[in-house]
Structure 1
Amino acid sequence: METPNCYLSSLKILWIMVLLLTQNLISIPAQGFQFNVENQLNKAVKEHQLKFPILTQKIYRDRNYQSIWFNINGKTPLIWDAVNLLKAAPQYGLNPTNYHCNQLSINTINNAIQIPINDDVKPIIDVLITDAMLAFTAHLRYGTINPSTPLLAIDKETFKGFKVDSVLEVAIKNPNFKNTILSAQPNYLGYKTLQQQLENLVKNQTGDCVGITDHHIQLFFANMERWRWLSPVKQPYIIINIPAFNLTYYDGITEQNFKVIIGKSNTKTPVLSSKIRFFTTAPDWTVPRSILVKELLPSAIKNNSYMANNNFNIYDKYGNYIPATHNNLLKVRANPSEYTVKQSPGPDNALGQIVFNFDNSYAVYLHDTPNRSFFDKSERALSHGCIRVENPDKLVEFFLKNDQATEILPEVLNAMEKYKRKRVYLKKPIPITVTYLTMEVKNGELQTYKDLYQKDKNLIKALKLN
């Protein structure tokens, strides 16, 4: 018969064994799960299943390959936040097929939550959700086919722009996961109002891989994609929308709208971003070579007084004035690159009373025009590519107010009226964006515009919405 001391010793040994066994039962699945995540991650990368393989690997490496969306206690506080946001992709103008929608179906997630922690299904789902959230965040910010910021460039640890992995890391730790991810969206008022309209239209359309076949909805997607291509800017800023023939000056509180004239279909106004750094009253106009060869010289050669009547002067490559004789005009036609033709300031000058200068590679300007009756037309694709603006004096007023320099406004307006040259450099340059939106919200109403340059069809096709 065992003595009491022996019995107590046996109980102690048994208790210690139970503790050790319990610890093993807890630790073994955890270690196995970490191992499985790494294996499934490596497999997914090798099989090219991931859109953001580099950043996905970085996130798991930094977490020692621990699960993000599952944990050992079976609690899943984040998995549904992530999956529900991915399922809501159409509300943000994004195609759900970009986010592993078949592999991350609602049924698959429900089943995965129920299966053992060390099963291979959980790790691959964990990896796919992480990759999908990185892609979703990047697409919110940059779009899916941004010509200036390809997604391959974003999927690098050395990328200098918006860090989508950092946003995801913050969101994982933040009580408001959804809003942290959605903060990646553009800060333009025009984007926000368009997104709200789209959300109201499609928020009741649920499913794993919802198709985007309605052309009206496709236009939302295409135009929200265009907004995402724009660089973030500080207020105030100018947005010129080509199909709307409209310039918007937004100061953070109110919008001021101006009619504009833009390029014809064969001399398109380019999409660009820059900053207006100065403006010039009573500008002279250097005639672009294409206009010189195709339009000005044929008219001048036919009519000896054309050059004088329209205040055009010829200069050689050294800046010397050349009389506009018939023979000299023929010389210019023979070697147009050797000469420059300028139009002097005045009521007939093509740039009007003022030009707003901004750096760009297209040699386009924002300027006044002597032909102001053109603003009465509903369709104003009439220029050679430059942008003519109605009421430029009002724009000057807003610029000087932003610069806290309204005291010089009378002097500037007088210089405009009397065609006196004056150049004003802005202490606070104004961001200017020329974009192409065939759909936008104005005064609370959804507006659609004629696709002047036939861009929508190709963009919708590239977004794989058909």
Structure 2
Amino acid sequence: MGFSRFFSLFLFCLIIVSCHEEKKNANINVQLDDLADWNIREYSLSSRKIRHEIDSLRLLPLRMYADEYTRKYYASGAPFLWITRSGIDEKADTLLAYLQKASSSGLRESNFYISELQTNLRRIRQLDFDPENNINAVFGRTEFLLTKAYLRYVCGQRFGYVQPNQIFNRLEQTDTTQKAPFRRLYDIETESADQEFVHKALSLLKDGNFTDFFQDIQPDNPLYRQLTDHYLQTQNPETRRKAIVNIERSRWRTPLAAHDKYVWVNLAAATLYAVNENKPEYLDMKICIGSPKNKTPMLQSRIERVDMNPYWNIPYSIVKKEIAPRHAGDEAYFSRNRYRIFNKETGEELPPVAVTSDMLTSGRYRVRQDNGEGNSLGRLIFRFPNNYSIYLHDTNNRQAFKRTNRAISHGCIRIEKPLELAVFLLDSPEEKTVNKLREAIGLPPLNSSVPIEKKEGEQLKVGIQRFDPSIPVVIDYYTLYPKPDGGWEESPDPYGYDEILLKKLEAF
């Protein structure tokens, strides 16, 4: 460093120190390069000491999935991302500006170490170090926390701060034994962060368009902006809590947005929406969902067909828990409910009095309910592939839709308007096809008021109507959602998922 430069710096410091009215740090805006030749211990940076500080930080517990990527990066001895010869790269200020916006969606600033980073950056830029905050410790903390906050933010905004499959699929065990597998309550294809995304994010810190990337990773779900605005506009604490968790749900990237015609089931609101984006129309209806003990899972699939006058093959779980222990051998019970028992291997029907509880729970026998009047599936059932034997179906209990709490089923979804849904989903609802559906459930044809009477002994018309193309269906869970005609729908939290999500969002 030249003498004139040294003298100017010395004179500047002397003037600042001598001025009692201006109590500013003399080292404001002094850069590390200015001190490079001084060899002053307090301002001597050591890569080894900085990495030692980082190593102590990366061993702290992981609180968000993105933290694992930060840990791996520094464990590999990779280059620093923020430290330069002049101190800390100015990109840190851009990052902090974005991090401070996160509070507008209900996230805590402490989740991104904003206060600590601001303090550290001030210390570095004013060369304000002391024995407890020596230069290498401050640089190490700043380097590590900037990367940690950066990856939390870009992964969280792009994919969600909580991974739904990790949360919901570890809530309930299939039985009471400790080693039992967990029930899968979330089976929606959801994008997630991976090493490729993280590598791109870190590479852009070095040589890419940093600000464009921040724009690209923002949620693309229109609900995100609507919910965020609603959060900022309301002062009701409970509504704000609902907004926070539903904003998080809107960050999860699912395939529904790619389709014009679809069925969206909101379990929390116990409501089904059938939507055709190409037409100014939608269909909504009440539904009954699984009880808290028999939660309906969140899933995605495609509705392939509607079956008319279906038989009900009773799930083994119901046979095991309800029918076998209470009603085995009770002929009156089986007759009253129109249940029949069949040998799975031979197809032979057995009289109820000949079947014991042990036989029913052996897995070798099937219990089936006759179709038609009184059948629990009603007259129409909508079939779509899934891992749970979950379907949308009619019901013989129409009174259930008058209830406020409709979380009452064994897991399947009972729908209020099955015929209307079937017609809505048809690609071309021709009169002949619609009449076929109406006839199957005992309604008169279109343009006729004469009901179809079933003759005694006549078999019910059993049939299938396929949907071509098949219709996407997503069974989801939102407790706060904009109504199609304006306003907001606040739903109860029948499965307690809001509280689980809120705790996860507050914990990292």
Q: Same fold (TM over 0.5)?
A: yes
Measured at CA, do residues 296 and 65 of structure 1 come closer, stay the same or move farther in structure 2, by a change above 3 Å? closer
Tell me the number of residue pairs that the alignment of Structure 1 and Structure 2 aligns: 410
Whether the 8 Å contact between 1:249 and 1:257 is mirrored in structure 2 is: yes
Q: How does 1:5-24 map to 2 (within 5 A)?
A: none
Whether contact under 8 Å (1:281, 1:355) holds in the other structure is yes
Separation in structure 2 between the aligned mates of residue 344 and residue 161 of structure 1, nearest angstrom: 53
The equivalent position to 2:491 in structure 1, one of 414, 426, 449, is: 449
8 Å CA contact 2:54, 2:140 repeated in 1: no
Classify the secondary structure of the residue corresponding to 2:367. strand
Whichever residue aligns with residue 293 of structure 2, its letter is: N
Partner of 1:413: 437
| Deviation at residue 87 of structure 1 after TM alignment | 1.6
Other-structure match for 1:241? 266
Number of the residue aligned with 1:209: none
| Percent of paired sites with the same residue | 25
- Aligned residue for 2:303, secondary structure, equals strand
Question: Do residues 88 (structure 1) and 129 (structure 2) align?
Answer: no
Alpha-carbon distance, 1:127 to partner: 4.4
Unaligned runs of 5+ in 1: 1-24, 30-34, 151-157, 203-212
Aligned to 2:176: none
In 2: Cα distance, 1:145 partner to 1:74 partner = 30
Separation of aligned partners in 2, 1:330 and 1:79: 72
Unaligned runs of 5+ in 2: 1-32, 38-44, 129-134, 168-191, 443-459
* Aligned counterparts, 1:8-407, within 5 A: 40=50, 43-45=53-55, 47-48=57-58, 52=66, 55-56=69-70, 65=79, 76=90, 78-105=91-118, 107-110=119-122, 112-113=124-125, 121=138, 124-148=141-165, 163-166=197-200, 173=209, 175-176=211-212, 178-182=214-218, 185=219, 187-201=220-234, 216-228=239-251, 231-233=254-256, 234-235=258-259, 236-252=261-277, 256-296=283-323, 298=326, 301-302=329-330, 304=332, 306-308=333-335, 310-325=337-352, 327-330=353-356, 335=361, 337-401=363-427, 405-407=428-430
Residue in 1 that maps onto 2:188 = none
Q: Which amino acid aligns with 2:384?
A: F
TM-score by length of 2: 0.66
Given that 1:281 and 1:412 are in contact with CA atoms closer than 8 Å, whether structure 2 keeps it comes out as no
Measured against aligned partners, the alpha-carbon deviations of 1:127-171 in whole angstroms (never above 9, x if no partner) come to 432331211122224433425258xxxxxxx97588245356569
User: CA 1:465/1:439 → structure 2, altered by over 3 Å: closer, same or farther?
Assistant: farther
Higher relative contact order (CA 8 A, sep 6+): 1
Tell me how far 1:316 sits from its aligned partner. Answer: 0.5
Q: Report the CA distance between 1:86 and its aligned residue.
A: 1.0
- RMSD of equivalent CA atoms: 4.4
Which deviations, in whole Å up to 9, do the C-alpha atoms of 1:407-432 show, x marking residues without a partner?
Answer: 47426524643553333454544343
Question: What displacement does 1:260 show?
Answer: 0.6
1:347, CA displacement in angstroms? 2.7
Name the counterpart of 2:28. none
For the Cα contact (< 8 Å) 2:96–2:114, is it kept in 1? no
Preserved contact between residue 310 and residue 343 of structure 1 (Cα < 8 Å): yes
